């Protein structure tokens, strides 16, 4: 049996004094599971790994257990296959948005009704487009002044973590 490759996105680490989880510790937690070819990008919770598990939910659960044991706090984790991540980057290109573009990765795919509800909060300056477990947030000049943020996504669609499109594209180039 060959290992499956996964890209994991850790939610809300290294953002404040209480949620420090350095990438060396992240790597140690993943390798502690016996998983291999573990790589990170930046110190914001982007991890590539190979493991024998083929079910996304099982991978997420194993990582969350290992991360909580190592970090001392819960670390919600969302995993995608390299193919899924590449598809998200391709979706982003299809929008042709020239401003700030972020992607919120969702733990679970939302219902059509929930996705539509978020999309209906879009304005001329801020657009949310839900595509499976990815929410494209196309914003104006400043993410920090935007109304459509990861917090807004989580309020309507559940656990999510977001990355700017530059990081998403870099991960696709490096790991897909």
Residue 75's pLDDT is 96
Can you give the pLDDT at residue 1? Answer: 62
Q: What is the maximal distance between C-alpha atoms in the chain?
A: 50
Q: In this structure, are residues 169 and 87 in contact, taking their beta carbons and an 8 Å threshold?
A: no
Q: What confidence tens digit (pLDDT) does each residue in 153-162 have?
A: 999 999 999 9
Whose tokens are 């598809």? That residue is 87
Q: Report the alpha-carbon distance of residue 132 to residue 145 in Å, rounded.
A: 26
pLDDT of amino acid 66:
98
User: How far apart, in whole angstroms, are the C-alpha atoms of residue 150 and residue 28?
Assistant: 28
Residue in the block written with tokens 């991960």: 171
Average pLDDT, the chain: 95
Other Cβ atoms closer than 10 A to 16: 8
Residues in the chain predicted with pLDDT less than 50, given as ranges, are none
Query: How many Cβ atoms sit within 10 Å of the Cβ of residue 36?
Result: 12
Instruction: Report pLDDT for 98.
Output: 87
Q: Is the CB of residue 119 less than 8 Å from the CB of residue 128?
A: yes
pLDDT at 85: 98
- The pLDDT assigned to 176 comes to 94
Q: Do residues 158 and 106 make contact, with C-beta atoms less than 8 angstroms apart?
A: yes
Indicate the domain borders of the chain.
4-80, 82-175
Say how far apart CA 75 and CA 23 lie, in whole Å.
Answer: 13
- 4-80 maps to CATH 3.30.70.1280: yes
pLDDT score, position 17? 77
φ, ψ at 155 (rounded to 5°): -60, -35
**Beta partners for residue 50, in sequence order:** 5, 36
> What is the per-residue pLDDT for 142?
80
């Amino acid at each position: 049996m060959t290992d499956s490759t996964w890209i994991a996105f850790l939610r809300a680490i290294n953002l404040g004094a209480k949620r420090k989880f350095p990438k060396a510790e992240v790597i140690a937690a993943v390798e502690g599971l016996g998983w291999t070819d573990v790589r990170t990008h930046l110190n914001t919770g982007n991890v590539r790994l190979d493991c024998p598990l083929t079910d996304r939910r099982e991978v997420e659960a194993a990582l969350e257990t290992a991360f909580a044991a190592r970090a001392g706090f819960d670390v919600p984790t969302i995993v995608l296959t390299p193919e899924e991540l590449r598809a998200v980057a391709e979706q982003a290109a299809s929008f042709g948005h020239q401003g700030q573009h972020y992607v919120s990765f969702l733990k679970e795919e939302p219902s059509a009704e929930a996705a539509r509800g978020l999309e209906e909060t879009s304005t001329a300056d801020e657009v949310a487009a839900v595509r499976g477990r990815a929410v494209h947030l196309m914003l104006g000049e400043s993410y920090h002044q935007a109304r459509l943020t990861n917090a807004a996504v989580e309020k309507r669609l559940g656990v999510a973590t977001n990355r700017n499109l530059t990081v998403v594209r870099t991960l696709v180039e490096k790991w897909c």
